Amino acid sequence: MSGALSGIRVVDLSRILAGPMCAQILADHGADVIKIEPPTGDDTRTLGPPFNANGDAAYFSAINRGKQCITIDLAAPAGRDILYRLLDRADVLIENFLPGTLEKWGIASDGWLENRFPRLIHCSISGFGADGPLGGMPGYDAVLQAMCGIMSVNGEKASGPTRVGIPVVDHLTAYTALSGILMALHQRHVTGRGQFVEATLFDAALSLLVPHAANYFESGREPGLTGSAHPNISPYDRYRCGDGEVFLGIMNKPQFDKFCAVVSRPDLAANRDYATNASRIQHREALRAEIEGALADWTRAALCDRLMRVGVPVGPIHSVSEAFAQPHALHRGMTVERPGYRGVGLPIRLHQSPGSPGKNPSSFNADAARVLKDAGYSPEDVQQFLADGVILNRDTQTG
C-alpha cells in the first residue's frame, strides 16, 4: 500500500470512535496499523444491527479498515511483553484508556514509556484529560455535547436542546489527534525524539463553539436555539419550496441580489429592511415568509441548479441515501464498494501521494498469527499464548 505515510507503523489500542477513526485515516494514507483489542473486543463490534457477514456491526466496519487485528490481554504480563515488542518497531501509539490505566499496568508511569521508546509518539485520547476537576472521568460524545454548550444552540423551541445527529465531538477529536500526531512526526525529524500528544473530547467540543463563543464573549448575551439558522447570517437557513426543502446560504449583498433576481423578487433586494446582513437578521422572520412565498412554485432541482449557476450557495436537504447517490459524490469517489465491504471514501486528498482505502475490516483476532510471526514469535509461542489466554481464538470471544 502506498501513500504519504508509507513506512509509518502504528499500534492502535483505542476503541469506539475517535481513536479508531484517527488510526483508519493513517492507514488509508499508507501507515501500517496494528489494532490491539481487549479479550472482549472493541465495543463497536457489538453496536448493531446491522451486522456484516463476520457478525461485526457496521459501526465497527466504518472505522477499522486497513488494520491488522489482534486481541491481547494487556492485564497479563505476557500480553504486555507482546505490546512492548510491537512498540519496539512502532512510530505511533494511539490509546483512549481512562487516564491511569496504563500506569496501573506499569506501562506509562514516571516517563517509562518515553525512556524505553524515545522515538515513539504516544497519542492519548480521553474525555477530559488526566488532571483538573474532571481529570480521569469517562466521557462520551453526547455527554460532551451537553456539557460544552453544543446542545444548547442546536434545536428549535419545540424540540429544546438537541444532540447533533452525528457524533461530531468524536469526529473532531479524531482529526485533532490526527493533526497532533502529524505535527509530532514532523517535529521528530528535527529532534529525533517522539513526544506525548493529548486530545480530549472536552477541548474539541468547546472549540466547536464558533461563532457562538465569540458572540457571547463580545456581547455578554447567552446564545440560544436557532434551529437550522445561523446566528450571524441571514438568509442562512432551510426553506420550503414546491417539492421539499432546501438550505439557502447567502453570505453577502451581491448573493442576496442575485437570489432575488432569480426568484423574480427584485423588490426584496431594494427593501431597506433587507439592505444589509444586520438588517436581514433583525427582520429574519418577515424575510423568511417572503422567501418561502417566492419559492412555492420551484422544484428543488430547478431552484438549486439556477441559483448555483449564478453563484448563490444552495442545496437540497437530502437523506443519507440521496447524499451518496449524488453524481458529484460518485465523481469524488466518496463510496468505497467492493466484495464484502461498502464504506465512505477518503476525505483527505494528496495529489502527489494519494492514499487509498485499506483492506476490509478484519474479524475478531483474525490477524493474530501474522502479527505475532512478523514480531518474531514462533508457532510454539503462539500456541502457548492461546493456551494461556493471552490471545484468544475467535470462537472463544466473550464480548
SS (H, E, C) the chain: CCCCCCCCEEEECCCCCHHHHHHHHHHHCCCEEEEEECCCCCHHHHCCCCECCCCCEHHHHHCCCCEEEEECCCCCHHHHHHHHHHHHCCCEEEECCCCCHHHHCCCCHHHHHHHHCCCCEEEEEECCCCCCCCCCCCCCHHHHHHHCCCHHHCCCCCCCCCCCCCCHHHHHHHHHHHHHHHHHHHHHHHHCCCCEEEEEHHHHHHHCCCCHHHHHHHHCCCCCCCCCCCCCCCCEEEEEECCEEEEEECCCHHHHHHHHHHCCCHHHHHCHHHCCHHHHHHCHHHHHHHHHHHHCCCCHHHHHHHHHHCCCCEEECCCHHHHHHCHHHHHCCCEEEECCEEEECCCCCCCCCCCCCCCCCCCCCCCHHHHHHHCCCCHHHHHHHHHHCCCCCHHHCCC
**381 shares its domain with 242:** no
Predicted confidence at residue 399, as pLDDT, reads: 41
Distance, in Å, from the CA atom of 205 to the CA atom of 210, rounded to the nearest integer, reads: 11
| Residue whose entry in the numeric block shows the C-alpha cell 486528498 | 349
Residue 302 lies in a domain: yes
Low-confidence residues in the chain, pLDDT < 50: 397-399
Predicted confidence at residue 140, as pLDDT, reads: 96
Structural domain count of the chain: 2
**68 shares its domain with 43:** yes
Residue 213 lies in a domain: no
**42 shares its domain with 148:** yes
Residue 109 lies in a domain: yes
The alpha carbon of residue 370 and the mean position of all alpha carbons in its chain are separated, in whole angstroms, by 29
The domain boundary, picked from 300, 325, 350, lies at 325
**174 shares its domain with 316:** no
Angle (nearest 5°) at CA 80 between 74 and 81 = 150
Q: How many CB atoms are located within 10 Å of the residue 238 CB?
A: 13
Distance, in Å, from the CA atom of 305 to the CA atom of 295, rounded to the nearest integer, reads: 14
**65 shares its domain with 193:** yes
123, amino acid identity? C
| Closest to 32 (Cα-Cα) out of 68, 82, 61, 85 | 68
**256 shares its domain with 373:** no
Predicted confidence at residue 94, as pLDDT, reads: 98
Domain that holds residue 291: 236-325
**56 shares its domain with 19:** yes
Q: How many CB atoms are located within 10 Å of the residue 177 CB?
A: 28
- Please pick, among 12, 28, 73, 170, the residue that the annotation labels catalytic: 170
Q: How many CB atoms are located within 10 Å of the residue 144 CB?
A: 27
**150 shares its domain with 32:** yes
Residue 51 near residue 58 (C-beta atoms within 8 A): yes
Residue 356 lies in a domain: yes
Task: Write the CB contacts of 216 (distance below 8 Å, at least 6 apart in sequence).
Answer: 222, 223
**52 shares its domain with 180:** yes
Tell the burial category of 385 from Cβ atoms under 10 Å away from its Cβ (0-12, 13-18, 19+).
Answer: buried
Predicted confidence at residue 398, as pLDDT, reads: 44
Residue 168 lies in a domain: yes
Q: Is 305 a catalytic residue?
A: no
**153 shares its domain with 283:** no
**77 shares its domain with 189:** yes
**254 shares its domain with 355:** no
Predicted confidence at residue 103, as pLDDT, reads: 86
Q: How many CB atoms are located within 10 Å of the residue 308 CB?
A: 12
Residue 3 lies in a domain: no
Residue 243 lies in a domain: yes
